[in-house]
Amino acid sequence: MWSEFPAQKQVAELLYRSLKHNRLSHAYLFSGPKGAGKKKVAKHFAKAIFCLKQNGDSCGICKNCRLIEERNHFEVHWIEPERNIIRIKQVEDLQKKFSYRAAESSHKVYIMDEADKMNQEATNRMLKFLEEPPQGVVAILLTSRIQDILPTILSRCQIITFAAPSPEIIAKELEQAGVKPGLARAAAQIANDVEEARRLCETESFAQLRSLVIQLSEDILERGTYALVTIHDKFLKQEKATDKIDLFLDLFLLWFRDLLFFSLGKESQITNKDQMEPIQKQALRMSQRRLVDGMGTILVTKNRLTHYANLQLSLEDMVLRLQEG
C-alpha cells in the first residue's frame, strides 16, 4: 500500500492520483539521494499499474503483485548497470522486447536503476526511445545524480524528487540490517544516506573512533594534560589519521551535542543512547555554556583543518581549549 512510504508521502500521493485518474506519463525520472527509497517506490508503482484488486494502489498479494515482487512479471523489465555502465545493448534488448505485443495487458513498464550510468551510445538510443514511446509503455528512470542526466532526457520525463531520508529512517534500516543501535544512530546523524551510513558502520575504525571520542572527553575532564597523550597515541599515531579527521570531529561534535541535550533535559534527542552512563557523568560536570563553547571549538578546528592547518597542532590546541572551558 502507498501508506508504506510515510517518508515520501508527497511522491506516493502524486503517483496514486496519476493512476487513480488514469493520467500516467510515458516517462518518469525519480531523483533523490541513495537510500531515499526510489527503487522500492518504483517497484510499488509497477505493482499498482498491474494490480488485479486495487485501483491506484497495490494489494501485494495478487498474481501480478507477487510476480513483480519476484521480478518475474512478463511486462515489467529491469535495467541495471553492468560493471558500473548501462550499455547500448541493454537498451536495444529492451526495445526488442517491447516491439512484441503485450501478452496480458495494455501496459509495459521498464525500470532503469542508476540511469546516470548510461554511456553515450545508450543515452542516444534511450533518447530516441523516449521521443517515440510505444503505446502503453511506462519508463521509470532512477538516479541519485540528476546533474549527470542529459537535459534532453530530463525534458522528456516527469521529474519526481525524493526527499533525503531522515536520520531516524536511516538508523532503522541499519538496525534491521543487524547494526548495533548505538552505531546505527551515530552513523545516521553523520551520513547523508543509507548507503553511506552502512559503509561507515562496516569500517572497523568507525566504532573505534566513537570509543575514542568518549574516552577523550572523559580524559579532558578527569586527567588534565594527559588528554594530549590520548589524542596523540590513540589518534595521531593511527594509519591515515588525516583521512579520518572529519569523521572523528563529527563524532566528537555529536558527543558534545548529546551532553548538551542531557543538560537541557532533552534526553529523547540524544543519539548515543547506549552510552547514557558516561553522558550523565560528564554532562553533570559541565555547564551549558561550556558545552556550547566546546561545540564551537570543535567546529573551529574542523574549519581550520579544511584550510590545511597542521593536524597535530590543531588537535592539541582543541584539547587545551576544551580543558580551559
pLDDT digit string (tens) for the chain, length 325 residues? 888 887 788 999 999 999 988 899 999 999 998 878 899 999 999 999 999 988 889 998 999 999 999 999 988 999 999 989 999 999 999 888 877 654 555 788 999 999 999 999 999 999 988 888 788 899 999 999 999 999 999 999 999 999 888 898 889 889 988 999 999 999 999 987 788 898 999 988 999 999 999 999 999 998 878 899 999 999 998 888 899 999 999 999 999 999 999 999 999 999 999 999 999 999 999 999 999 999 999 999 999 998 878 999 999 999 999 988 7
Model confidence, pTM? 0.68
The C-alpha atoms of residue 46 and residue 69 are separated, in whole angstroms, by 9
The pLDDT of residue 163 is 85
**CATH 3.40.50.300 in the chain, residue ranges:** 2-164
The pLDDT of residue 100 is 64
Q: How many CB atoms lie within 10 A of CB 246?
A: 13
Helix (H) or strand (E) run with residue 30 in it: strand 27-31
The pLDDT of residue 290 is 95
The C-alpha atoms of residue 29 and residue 153 are separated, in whole angstroms, by 9
**Polymer length of the chain:** 325
The pLDDT of residue 273 is 94
Decide: 307 and 219 in contact? Cβ < 8 Å. no
Of 199, 211, 189, 209, which Cα lies nearest the Cα of 274?
211
| 94's grid cell | 529492451
* DSSP SS3 for 241: helix
The pLDDT of residue 101 is 54
Decide: 160 and 31 in contact? Cβ < 8 Å. yes
Residue type, 273: K
Residue type, 9: K
Residues facing residue 143 across a β-bridge: 31
The C-alpha atoms of residue 109 and residue 99 are separated, in whole angstroms, by 13
Question: 2-164 in CATH: which number?
Answer: 3.40.50.300
The C-alpha atoms of residue 291 and residue 120 are separated, in whole angstroms, by 53
* DSSP SS3 for 114: coil
Question: 203-324 in CATH: which number?
Answer: 1.20.272.10
**CATH 1.20.272.10 in the chain, residue ranges:** 203-324
Per DSSP, the residues of 183-211 read HHHHHHHH-SSHHHHHHHHHSHHHHHHHH
The pLDDT of residue 105 is 57
Q: How many CB atoms lie within 10 A of CB 238?
A: 16
CB proximity list for 161: less than 8 A, separation 6 or greater: 11, 31, 32
* DSSP SS3 for 6: helix
